[in-house]
């Protein structure tokens, strides 16, 4: 370990700061994700006839489908920006541990997703008169988003380097992310319909297990997907 190279934490934070600064200057990605999410919710409203009765049972599903779609949009964008202008090469040349790039990108992707979710939740509550301001629900959404972006960041790094690029990411990501999405839907649905805590505990455990496993694996294999 050279003493001159910055620590993993410092390097990670530097990449996060770079991404957030670029995004908060233009709001390109967040605004696209947000408008897209609202459109998805509007389509669901008419596709599913979200009347009072069905609302209770499908809210969790509608929310997570929306988050997953919007998340793919953000993940694609955040990696293709790096690839397009050769920024990725610059990042790779930096004298820092490669995993700092992974963690940096993952944390900024997570931040964008959380910002969008933080706006969608109150809007959805208002539109459908469901109370989504609950600390336990926020916890589930956080756990689900962490797992989704952990795998998504790794896979978007891969898909950005292929010929089919944007089309490929959802195809690669969704089958692998099915456990996290289903567990998140199950846990949030349980919370919203007022199920016993013991019923929510299992999907919650699966969410945590998924997060831990996939962060660890992505951390281990990230070197292989950025190697030139």
Least distance in angstroms from the C-beta of 213 to another protein: 6
Q: CB nearer to another protein: give 45 or 65.
A: 65
Q: CB nearer to another protein: give 29 or 101.
A: 101
Say how far apart CA 187 and CA 181 lie, in whole Å. 10
Nearest to 204 by CA among 176, 184, 182: 184
Say how far apart CA 140 and CA 22 lie, in whole Å. 29
Q: How many CB atoms lie within 10 A of CB 198?
A: 8
Answer yes or no whether residue 224 interacts with another protein by CB under 8 A. yes
Angle CA 145–77–121, to nearest 5: 35
Least distance in angstroms from the C-beta of 147 to another protein: 10
Q: CB nearer to another protein: give 74 or 179.
A: 179
Q: CB nearer to another protein: give 97 or 166.
A: 166
Burial call 154-171: b when 16+ CB within 10 Å, e when fewer: bbbbbbbeeeeeeebbbe
Least distance in angstroms from the C-beta of 80 to another protein: 14
What separation in angstroms does the CA of 223 have from each of 27, 115, 182, 227? 30, 29, 29, 6
| Residues from 184 through 223 that contact another protein (CB under 8 A) | 186, 202-203, 206, 209-210, 213-214, 217, 221
| Matching residue, tokens 């199920």 | 195
Q: CB nearer to another protein: give 37 or 76.
A: 76
| Residues from 118 through 177 that contact another protein (CB under 8 A) | 151, 154-155, 158-159, 161-165, 168, 171-172, 174-177
Contact set with another protein (CB under 8 A): 151, 154-155, 158-159, 161-165, 168, 171-172, 174-179, 182-183, 186, 202-203, 206, 209-210, 213-214, 217, 221, 224-225, 227
């Amino acid at each position: 370990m050279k003493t001159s190279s910055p620590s993993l934490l410092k390097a990670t934070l530097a990449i996060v700061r770079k991404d957030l600064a670029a995004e908060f200057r233009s709001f390109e990605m967040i605004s696209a994700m947000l408008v897209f999410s609202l459109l998805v919710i509007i389509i669901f409203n008419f596709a599913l006839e979200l009347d009072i009765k069905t609302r209770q049972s499908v809210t969790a599903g509608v929310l997570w489908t929306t988050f997953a779609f919007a998340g793919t949009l953000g993940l694609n964008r955040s990696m293709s920006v790096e690839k397009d202008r050769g920024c990725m090469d610059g990042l790779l040349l930096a004298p820092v541990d490669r995993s700092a790039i992974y963690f940096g990108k993952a944390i900024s992707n997570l931040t964008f997703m959380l910002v969008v979710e933080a706006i969608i939740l109150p809007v959805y509550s208002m539109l459908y008169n469901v109370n989504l301001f609950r600390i336990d629900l926020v916890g589930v959404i956080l756990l689900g988003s962490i797992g989704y972006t952990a795998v998504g960041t790794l896979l978007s790094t891969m898909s950005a380097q292929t010929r089919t690029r944007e089309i490929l990411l959802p195809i690669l990501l969704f089958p692998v992310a099915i456990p996290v999405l289903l567990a998140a839907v199950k846990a949030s649905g349980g919370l919203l319909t007022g199920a016993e805590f013991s019923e929510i505990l299992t999907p919650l455990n699966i969410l945590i297990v998924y997060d831990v496993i996939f962060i660890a694996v992505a951390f281990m294999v990230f070197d292989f997907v950025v190697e030139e």
